[in-house]
Structure 1
């Protein structure tokens, strides 16, 4: 019981301290790299994600509608 209270207190302290520690971190100035050529992909990754989502939906439908034999094996 005592260990559970100690772990709960440690978790609470870490949740409270994390935003303060993140805010106190020094800021770093980021400089982007120059890009000499445009991307040759017409639709970017959006098309790939859409195709993968459609494949997942079709696979889910095939698995759900599987017309397998649902008879019990035992007599």
Structure 2
């Protein structure tokens, strides 16, 4: 067996392995949603119930207006600082 025929044989094996890898990847992408659906249908149906809470805390915390006012003041201060720059840039 000469070198070129050996190289051709190895090249065909590598190409076939590449095609096999691509086929396995496509098959796994096609089967994954079906397997996930099957896993969901096998699981027992459980109804989710929220836990009761004794305290009535607000998620916002009541600081929303204060934070908005501080942000507005910061934006206004930034605009004033930028607009107040009247120094010439050239000598």
Q: Identify the TM-score tier after normalising by the shorter chain.
A: 0.3 to 0.5
Structure ID, larger Rg: 2
Report the structure, 1 or 2, having the larger helix content: 2
